[in-house]
Amino acid sequence: MSEVLLQLKGLSVSYGPVEAVHQVDLEVRSGEIVTVIGPNGAGKTTLLSAAMGLLPSRGEIHLEGRRIARPGVEVMVAHGVGLVPEKRELFGEMSVEDNLLLGGFSRWRRGLRDQVQRMDEVFAIFPRLKERRAQMSSTLSGGERQMLAIGRALMARPRLLLLDEPSLGLAPLIVREVLQVVAGLRDLGVSVLLVEQNARAALKVADRAYVLEMGAVALSGSAKALLNDRRIIDTYLGMGHSAQAAAA
């Protein structure tokens, strides 16, 4: 069995008196693409933010087998975890290139001066960003912005990338393109925890999946098994799936 990169044990997160994530157990192994699917408000973003140390949580967060006593963004980044947030948080008034360089800042601060090489790697993954390297990022299309957000996170050379709904607001063709890149990250040695509302697209690229409902894990298993699970088909995959199955 490959090494466990990230393990959440009984993770709970509250906003004031309201618990948004309840006792979640989850793990991502090295080389895995793991997805968390679930409806609006299920707690996906909350879970990801807590795993990144952006929100206080109860329970345990382990990275590479060691418990992180005080989860915080800096600690997570230092342990090779990267986040592409739901709101992307690009610097709109800055060029594509400068946004990427900022993504490499944590390495630069550690004395690692390989930003140009990292940027070439990102451009190899997203050639479209290379063509637009001087363009102001506020003028990029939705798909290009998503690529830039992922590219910026890759500049830090994470071992584990947390991705919050990369398909949000994108046309189906672009969703496929972006998720294909996500699938390809594995070959670059990057494991992925992918939060998605687009259950079908996510299950197609993932190895394993967790279904989050009202803050708790309702179901988990191999992505392939969940794609064929009656409950998942009825609740998350809808008509499109039956039509596809009929056509096949």
Ligand X SMILES: Nc1ncnc2c1ncn2[C@@H]1O[C@H](COP(=O)(O)OP(=O)(O)OP(=O)(O)O)[C@@H](O)[C@H]1O
The residues binding ligand X (CB under 6 A) are 15, 20, 38, 40-46, 197
Contact 110, 156 (CB under 8 A): no
In this structure, the strands spanning 191-196 and 208-213 are unpaired
Contact 106, 75 (CB under 8 A): no
Closer of 41 and 184 to ligand X (Cβ): 41
Residue 195 three-state SS: strand
Binding mask 83-112 for Mg ion (x = CB under 5 A): ---x--------------------------
Please list, in sequence order, all residues whose beta carbon lies within 8 angstroms of the beta carbon of residue 49, skipping any fewer than 6 positions away. 13, 55, 85
Binding of residue 45 to Mg ion (CB under 5 A)? yes
For residue 124, the surrounding DSSP H or E stretch is helix 115-125
Contact 116, 58 (CB under 8 A): no
Q: Minimum distance between the CB of residue 169 and Mg ion, rounded to whole angstroms?
A: 12
Q: Which does 46 bind (CB under 5 to 8 A by kind): Mg ion, ligand X, none?
A: ligand X
Closer of 129 and 199 to Mg ion (Cβ): 199
Q: Which does 106 bind (CB under 5 to 8 A by kind): ligand X, Mg ion, none?
A: none
Instruction: Rounding to the nearest 10 degrees, give the CA dihedral for residues 82, 154, 87, 140.
Output: 170
Q: Minimum distance between the CB of residue 213 and ligand X, rounded to whole angstroms?
A: 10
175 residue type, one letter: V
- Residue 121 token pair: 């790697």
Binding of residue 167 to Mg ion (CB under 5 A)? no
Q: Minimum distance between the CB of residue 62 and Mg ion, rounded to whole angstroms?
A: 24
Q: How far apart are CA 183 and CA 203, in angstroms?
A: 11
Closer of 86 and 121 to ligand X (Cβ): 86
Closer of 212 and 223 to ligand X (Cβ): 212
Q: How many residues bind Mg ion (CB under 5 A)?
A: 3
The residues of the shown chain that bind Mg ion, judged by CB under 5 A, are 44-45, 86
